[in-house]
């Protein structure tokens, strides 16, 4: 699905829901979006399906323009977005990251789910922080993060 965006008022901020795929075809959409951005914008990544390397390039150029003279934040970053943030600091530029999804797998029944980490709630303030245990809702077993925790949260210290 091609990238689409939708705005929603969130107090003095505007929330911008992104959905679909960020790829080489997203350049036009992002070019269109940058002309409509309010002074304070939170990008919501929950419905972003995937990002390829051309998409990353288009995004970096977009976020550089978006961050000029605006307050920008990211929320509900998918594990794929988090890995981009960790690999490429320019992916977030000066945006604040408010919440991220980490993917967890149950050690007993292999059930998988995403756990949301939110600033001010359960998001660690530094790497090496002991995270709250995550219980499987299917079997009650202990779930483990698919990524190495310190690597997944490396951006927190950046």
Which backbone phi and psi does 23 adopt, to 5 degrees?
Answer: -145, -160
Q: How far is the CB of 145 from Zn ion (least distance, A)?
A: 14
Q: How far is the CB of 135 from Zn ion (least distance, A)?
A: 9
Q: How far is the CB of 113 from Zn ion (least distance, A)?
A: 10
Q: Which of 80, 79, 114, 75 is nearest to 98 (CA)?
A: 75
20: which strand partners?
Answer: 48
Residues with Cβ within 8 Å of 124's Cβ and at least 6 positions away in sequence, in order, are 117, 131, 153, 156
Q: How far is the CB of 144 from Zn ion (least distance, A)?
A: 11
Q: What is the DSSP string of 37-60?
A: --SEEEEEEEEEEEE-HHHHHHHH
- Choose between 108 and 129: whose C-beta lies nearer to Zn ion: 108
DSSP designation for 130: P
Q: Which spans of this chain sit near Zn ion (rule: CB under 5 A)?
A: 106, 108-109, 111, 136, 138-139, 141
Q: How far is the CB of 130 from Zn ion (least distance, A)?
A: 22
- Choose between 124 and 141: whose C-beta lies nearer to Zn ion: 141
DSSP designation for 78: -
Q: Which of 154, 134, 129 is nearest to 144 (CA)?
A: 134
């Amino acid at each position: 699905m091609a990238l689409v965006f939708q705005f929603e008022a969130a107090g003095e901020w505007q929330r911008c829901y992104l959905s679909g795929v960020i790829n080489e075809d997203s350049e036009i959409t992002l070019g269109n979006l940058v002309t409509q951005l309010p002074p304070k914008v939170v990008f919501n990544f929950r419905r972003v399906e995937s990002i390829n390397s051309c998409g990353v390039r288009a995004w970096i150029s977009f976020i550089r323009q978006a961050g000029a003279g605006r307050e920008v934040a990211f929320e509900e970053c998918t594990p794929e977005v988090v890995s981009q943030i960790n690999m490429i600091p320019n992916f977030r530029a000066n945006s604040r990251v408010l919440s991220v999804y980490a993917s967890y797998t149950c050690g007993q029944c292999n059930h998988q789910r995403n756990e949301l980490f939110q600033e001010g709630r359960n998001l660690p303030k530094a790497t090496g922080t002991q995270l709250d245990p995550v219980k499987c809702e299917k079997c009650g077993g202990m779930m483990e993060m698919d990524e190495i925790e310190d690597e997944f949260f490396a951006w927190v210290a950046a």
